[in-house]
A and B are shown apart, each in its own frame.
Chain A
């Protein structure tokens, strides 16, 4: 009997928390379809006008493309830097993992706004493209997410045996890695890439300060719109939200296919 009561309370608690957390998102979505919504409880009417306006706006498309480029390049850099290290740590030397633990607290002790002071001090006046500094810095800040997701990918197989057999059969280390290891971690790698892409795609602090608005990404565009046109901005926020939703749904689908064991690791991936 008591168990049943527990369940009811649990459902009520979760419902309350979900409503609280989702309210801002719902309000934004409603706002994006509203004709006008000022000082009233519900909008005056519904329209798709703002969506058409945004989609046909060239600023939107170029901001979107810039964010996608940022996401893709960062993902490539992050994979090149972290994949070999995570592989080595998991397969040859577990003790490295203890030393890499500092990574997990990095975003808390040195968040973007702190790191950026040093970056500006060192690189702002050097004749190197600030874009490069930005890309490397975003890759670094995505490290905890990427690292954790990649680390999860190496659970469950004996990669050392696989890798060394490939070497004995005459493959070069790189070839062995590409032919033998990557196919076995492709799911985990894909998840790591999605997470890295998402974090770079939505980056704001570093992009805004290092490039100073010269490179208008989706978030910077969103901020500019917010100051001038609330309706258009709500459309952009809604689109951004759906983008996040689609990525999450893809990840859940992949993990479901991996079986329930992997599902539990979602929690771990998030436990940075």
Chain B
């Protein structure tokens, strides 16, 4: 018993001090007004202010679109990866790994070089006299920017799933006279559907929580849940930590429900391949 305590003590203290206590206080604070009294005023403010509703709307729409696009591209990418030789696979996994950890300030900076107002893309389009429709400093621009870390992340999630599919299944269905389309839609798709749901949820959640890249590209000019939290804490508007806590609570509750639902779908479907 004493040994067990010693083993779990550092871990327990860490979890308690920087996870359980802060998250509990966050939940409680979200129900307090500025004077410390109990009230729903923070939530009232979030849902009845057009500005804050806009933040929620922006976050959800950017994350939804970017994770759907990235999901499709990463399935195709992961499939292509399984067709390559082992050494090429390893090199590419390293490349994808690096490009996903490039997210944040470095990514924001390189996107400014590429697509910013004095960037390479602008130079190319103006020499070719093509109208350049992409504005990186916008909601669409952000949706585009997120794909640079969502796609590699998705590929790294999907690769082990697709790589573990048995090659013999295709041969069996081929011998039985099934077409390739039939094989993909009736055999492979049902098997990997739970993984698709699971990975979609992770990509969506990852996009929802993205702060560094948005902040580095647009400061607080793009109104999303993370940037609103950031500016409410830093006091760039007016510091209001309880309101930030309410936003954070809302975020955690939504994400926990989505991740939990995702897990349920995965478990009901059973047969996880891994």
A residues at B contact (CB < 8 Å): 2, 6-7, 9-11, 13-14, 17-18, 20-25, 27-28, 31, 37-41, 77, 80-82, 84-85, 87-88, 105, 107-123, 133, 136-137, 139-140, 173, 198, 202, 204-205, 209, 212, 219, 222-223, 226, 230, 233-234, 237, 240-241, 244-245, 248-249, 252, 256, 260, 263-264, 266-268, 270-271
CB atoms of A117 and B241 under 8 A apart = yes
CB atoms of B104 and A204 under 8 A apart = yes
List B contacts of A140 (CB < 8 A): 14-15, 18-19
CB atoms of A117 and B110 under 8 A apart = no
CB atoms of B106 and A240 under 8 A apart = yes
List B contacts of A21 (CB < 8 A): 95-96, 99, 148, 151-152
Question: Once bound together, how far apart are the Cα atoms of A248 and B99, in whole Å?
Answer: 11
List B contacts of A137 (CB < 8 A): 18
Q: Which residue of A111, A209, A256 has the most chain B CB atoms within 10 A of its CB atom? A: A111
Chain B nearest CB: distance from A226 CB in Å?
Answer: 5
CB atoms of B127 and A41 under 8 A apart = yes
B245, CB-defined interface residue at 8 Å: yes
B94, CB-defined interface residue at 8 Å: yes
List A contacts of B4 (CB < 8 A): 88
* CB nearest to B24 among chain A residues: A118
Binds A, one of B46-54, B185-193, B226-234: B226-234
Given A23-B114, A24-B114; A113-B84 close (CB under 8 Å):
no
CB atoms of B77 and A14 under 8 A apart = yes
CB atoms of A27 and B216 under 8 A apart = no
CB atoms of B107 and A24 under 8 A apart = yes
Question: Once bound together, how far apart are the Cα atoms of A9 and B36, in whole Å?
Answer: 62
* CB nearest to A101 among chain B residues: B263
* CB nearest to A218 among chain B residues: B105
Chain B nearest CB: distance from A204 CB in Å?
Answer: 5
Chain B nearest CB: distance from A109 CB in Å?
Answer: 4
CB atoms of B156 and A267 under 8 A apart = yes
Question: Once bound together, how far apart are the Cα atoms of A176 and B105, in whole Å?
Answer: 44
CB contacts between A and B, total, < 8 Å? 250
Given A117-B248, A222-B106, A260-B86; A81-B11 close (CB under 8 Å):
yes
Interface size classification for chain B: 35 or more
List B contacts of A6 (CB < 8 A): 83
CB atoms of B26 and A267 under 8 A apart = no
List A contacts of B109 (CB < 8 A): 28, 222, 226, 230, 233-234, 237
Given A24-B110, A24-B148; A109-B255 close (CB under 8 Å):
yes
Indicate with 1 or 0, residue by residue over B1-20, a CB within 8 angstroms of chain A CB atoms: 00110111011011101110
Chain A nearest CB: distance from B109 CB in Å?
Answer: 5
Question: Once bound together, how far apart are the Cα atoms of A212 and B234, in whole Å?
Answer: 8
CB atoms of B97 and A270 under 8 A apart = yes
CB atoms of B252 and A114 under 8 A apart = yes
Residues of B90-136 contacting chain A, CB below 8 A: 90, 92-99, 101-102, 104-114, 118, 120, 122-124, 126-127
Question: Once bound together, how far apart are the Cα atoms of A88 and B17, in whole Å?
Answer: 22
B23, CB-defined interface residue at 8 Å: yes
CB atoms of B205 and A139 under 8 A apart = no
Q: Which residue of A41, A77, A219 has the most chain B CB atoms within 10 A of its CB atom? A: A41
Chain A nearest CB: distance from B66 CB in Å?
Answer: 14
Chain B nearest CB: distance from A41 CB in Å?
Answer: 5
CB atoms of A110 and B157 under 8 A apart = no
CB atoms of A24 and B241 under 8 A apart = no
* CB nearest to A270 among chain B residues: B156
List A contacts of B234 (CB < 8 A): 209, 212
Q: Which of B81, B120, B245, B256 meets A27, CB within 8 Å?
A: B120
| 10 closest A-B pairs by CB | A118-B22, A111-B209, A24-B110, A118-B26, A10-B83, A108-B205, A10-B80, A267-B160, A13-B80, A117-B248
CB atoms of A244 and B105 under 8 A apart = no
Q: Which of B23, B92, B123, B160 meets A268, CB within 8 Å?
A: B160
